[in-house]
Structures are given as C-alpha cells and as structure tokens.
C-alpha cells in the first residue's frame, strides 16, 4: 500500500495543469508514432490525455498504462488523485465495463428480477462454482432486498468442457430460470443444442477482467469479486449510489 501511494504521489507531483486541446492532440500523435513501433495493433483512439500535463493514458482493453509525451517512457499502475483519493484509472475501467455491458440486451441474460427493484447487478457465473451456487441458493434474499440479478456465463474451465456444456444446456432450456436453479443444485440439465451466447459471454468476461466467479458488476461499473451476502451487498450498493 505504501509503495502504491508513493507511486501515485510521484505521478500526482508532476505538473497538474491540463494541456490545451491542440497540444493534447499533437501529443497523442507523438505518443502513437512512438508506441506503434512496439505495438503495431495500437490504435490512436487507445490514447488519451491524462489529467497530468505531459502524461498520456493508453488503454489495451481493461489494461492501462501511461506514457510520456514523446512516447519514450511508459509506466504501469493506477493513476491516483491523492487529494481526493480517486483512482482515475479505476474510474476508466468502470466506464469501459458499463460501455461493454450496455451493448447487451435483456434477452441475452438470464434474469432473476426483484419485485421492487432498487439495484440491478450483472453476475458472471459458473454452474460448477461452489460460491456461485451459494449465491444462487440465496437469490430470493437478493431479490427481497430489491436487487435484480442478471446472469452471464463464465465457465472457468473454458470451451469444450463439462461446465461449458452445462451452461449451454441451461441456456437452451425452455425455462432458463428453472434450469439455472436445477443446474446449480447439481441436477443434470439436458436440452437440445441451440444457438447460444455462452462463448461470447465467456470472452466478454475475459475482456472485462473476470478472474474468478462469481464476479459481480455493480451499477457504477465496479467489479466485486466473489460471493457477497445480500445484506452486505446492499451496503456496498448504497455507498455507490
């Protein structure tokens, strides 16, 4: 933690005045020309000015690093405003998560709705994950607290594995919600094969930085890893509201 704050303080100690739009655009060109030699797939739109003059943010999916204005030096880690305690980098990750999830519609998720919805969360889940099953056993508790749960599949073992096949069977079932509950209780769910979004959801989870399940994406775009009891989750959601 001390090392993290020291690094953030070093960055924050640089000149904090914003550059003009023209200078910023010229700086992006310089950074792009320098970095694309090492990263041919880099796009100019991956680069943007940071709040620190002369420092540019480069995004590669959910990974971020920072570069000097000439593109010669780069460094990784979160850019933090130590006065406000705000992680600028994490705020950008949140925005990217929300942008990606906004591309999905309700029909591409299996939803357990709250009758009196206050919050809506997206959960990357694995049929065979123990804590995913624990979360689902308490789905009525979440709903009772006003939390609607939208499920996306993230079979941790990857494609062409039993967990992946179970996810596809749940999706292809006539009653997806019942099939989800039965599968998480250990029942053998079978269904005729159909077109399904399991692979796309799995790949989306990788893009968004899912490393384990359950992975909860909250309304502000933050990611909460692991099982969280309904009461505690309400407190987290209230703080972010």
Residue 49: per-residue pLDDT: 92
8-state DSSP, 17: P
Q: Where are the alpha helices (DSSP H) in the chain?
A: 2-12, 21-35, 88-102, 130-137, 139-144, 162-171, 176-184, 198-207, 230-240
Would the pLDDT of 133 be above 80? yes
Query: Catalytic residue positions?
Result: 126, 129, 132, 156
Percent of the chain with pLDDT over 90: 77
Determine the Cα–Cα distance for residues 16 and 20; give it in Å rounded to an integer.
Answer: 13
Would the pLDDT of 18 be above 70? no
Average pLDDT, the chain: 89
Q: What is the reported pTM?
A: 0.82
Are the C-beta atoms of residues 87 and 78 closer than 8 Å to each other?
yes
Across the strands, what pairs with 87?
80
Mapping DSSP to helix (H, G, I), strand (E, B) and coil, where does residue 13 land?
Answer: coil
């Amino acid at each position: 933690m001390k090392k993290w704050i020291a690094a953030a303080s070093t960055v924050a100690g640089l000149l904090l005045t914003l550059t003009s739009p023209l200078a910023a655009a010229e700086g992006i060109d310089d950074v792009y020309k320098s970095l694309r030699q090492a990263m041919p797939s880099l796009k100019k739109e991956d680069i943007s000015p940071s709040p620190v003059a002369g420092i540019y943010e480069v995004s590669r999916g959910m990974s971020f690093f920072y570069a000097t204005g000439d593109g010669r030096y780069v460094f990784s880690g979160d850019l933090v405003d130590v006065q406000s305690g705000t992680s600028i980098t994490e705020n950008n990750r949140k925005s990217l998560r929300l942008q990606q999830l906004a591309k999905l519609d309700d029909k591409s998720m299996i939803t357990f709705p709250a009758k009196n919805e206050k919050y809506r969360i997206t959960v990357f889940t694995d049929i065979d994950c123990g804590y995913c099953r624990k979360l689902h056993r308490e789905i009525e508790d979440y709903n009772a607290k006003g939390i609607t749960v939208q499920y996306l599949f993230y079979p941790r073992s990857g494609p062409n594995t039993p967990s992946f096949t179970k996810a596809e069977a749940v999706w292809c079932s006539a009653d997806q919600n019942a099939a989800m509950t039965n599968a998480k209780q250990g029942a053998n769910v079978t269904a005729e094969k159909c077109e399904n979004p399991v692979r796309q959801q799995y790949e989306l989870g990788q893009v968004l930085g899912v490393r384990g399940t359950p992975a909860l994406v909250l309304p502000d775009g933050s990611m909460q890893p692991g099982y969280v009891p309904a009461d505690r989750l309400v407190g987290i959601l209230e703080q972010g509201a």
